[in-house]
């Protein structure tokens, strides 16, 4: 207990209590609610990823095959899709800014204890200290804008969100890559739609017009490709 404060900094036993247990000096109890700096995530995130994540990757590969095989002038679109898939794979394997975990009861907490017990620590510093920034899973004192993702079970610097399509977090190290991939992927989907429509309307057998019976009688495969 600091002499300038009226209550203890810790909701559990003091670390200097001789009768305290090995983990009684923790700045919060094990039953305390999760701090606001913890991203709990959705329980269905893993299911969404397994349902839509890899199918989107294989779907992109099928778009490559479609553009390469069926479009006479699809070389540019083909390479755009290839770059889109390459960025997607880079995001899957990218580091969003992970803070390494520490063993329970080591370094970070002990260093904080030394700071709190030091006579050089001023009362203003103690009052401004946010103990909720102590991660009880990774055992680190989180910097600003750092949150713990319960899905990945790690603290991410500059945490923005956990992307279920990538099964990876978006943080300070891959935020720009994620933004670039979103823009390129939107362009790829738009070009894919234009390519399908051009293939249906401007095919070698279409003749520049598309009567009502032409699509169903002479071009059933093109309709299936568009769907």
Positions annotated as catalytic residues are 163
Q: Which residue has the tokens 């909720």?
A: 132
In the chain, the DSSP E strands lie at: 38-39, 98-99, 134-135, 140-141, 147-149, 154-156, 161-163, 168-170
Is the alpha carbon torsion for 193, 194, 199, 200 positive or negative? positive
For residue 107, what are the contacts with CB-CB under 8 A and spacing of at least 6? Answer: 139
Rounded distance between C-alpha atoms, residue 222 and residue 26, angstroms: 65
Numbers of helices and strands, H then E, in the chain: 8, 8
Rounded distance between C-alpha atoms, residue 77 and residue 192, angstroms: 8
The DSSP code sequence of 5-26 is -SS-S-SS--TT-TT--TTTT-
């Amino acid at each position: 207990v600091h002499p300038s404060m009226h209550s203890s900094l810790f909701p559990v036993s003091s670390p200097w209590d001789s009768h305290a247990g090995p983990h009684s000096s923790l700045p919060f109890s094990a039953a305390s609610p999760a701090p606001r700096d913890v991203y709990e995530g959705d329980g269905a995130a893993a299911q969404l990823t397994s349902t839509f994540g890899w199918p989107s990757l294989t779907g992109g590969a099928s778009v490559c095959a479609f553009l390469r095989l069926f479009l006479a002038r699809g070389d540019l679109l083909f390479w755009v899709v290839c770059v889109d898939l390459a960025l997607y794979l880079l995001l899957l394997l990218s580091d969003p800014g992970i803070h390494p975990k520490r063993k329970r009861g080591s370094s970070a907490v002990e260093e904080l204890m030394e700071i709190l017990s030091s006579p050089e620590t001023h009362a203003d510093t103690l009052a401004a200290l946010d103990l909720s920034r102590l991660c009880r899973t990774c055992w680190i004192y989180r910097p600003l804008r750092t949150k713990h993702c319960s899905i990945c079970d790690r603290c991410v610097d500059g945490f923005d969100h956990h992307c279920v399509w990538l099964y990876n977090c978006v943080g300070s190290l891959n935020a720009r890559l994620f933004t670039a991939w979103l823009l390129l992927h939107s362009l790829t989907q738009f070009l894919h739609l234009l390519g399908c429509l051009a293939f249906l309307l401007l095919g070698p057998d279409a003749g520049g017009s598309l009567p009502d019976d032409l699509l169903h009688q002479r071009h059933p495969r093109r309709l299936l490709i568009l769907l």
